[in-house]
């Protein structure tokens, strides 16, 4: 049933499951989704930090280039 970390159910799995099994399937799916969302949110903060550092470094390089260009 699991494929690449995702919980994949087809109609036969759902139809043949008891209500308790269905509740468990829903719970496991929601827990999996929660973990994946937390991982994505963590990556977005890392990406923002990297972009900010890149902007600062780019600004410094551009500023140095402007100062050197003004001297000519």
Q: What is the pTM of this model?
A: 0.50
Q: Is 3 helix (H, G, I), strand (E, B) or coil?
A: strand
pLDDT of residue 28: 87
CA angle 11, 9, 18 (to 5 degrees): 70
Assigned token pair, 41? 């949110």
Contact 38, 65 (CB under 8 A): no
pLDDT tens digits for 9-48?
Answer: 788 888 999 999 999 988 988 888 888 888 777 777 777 7
């Amino acid at each position: 049933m699991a494929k690449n970390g995702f919980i994949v159910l087809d109609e036969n799995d759902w139809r043949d499951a008891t209500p308790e099994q269905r509740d468990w399937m829903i719970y496991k799916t929601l827990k999996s989704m929660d973990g994946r969302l937390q991982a994505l949110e963590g990556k977005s903060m890392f990406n923002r930090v990297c972009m900010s550092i890149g902007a600062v470094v780019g600004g410094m390089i551009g500023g140095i280039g402007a100062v050197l260009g003004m001297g000519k």
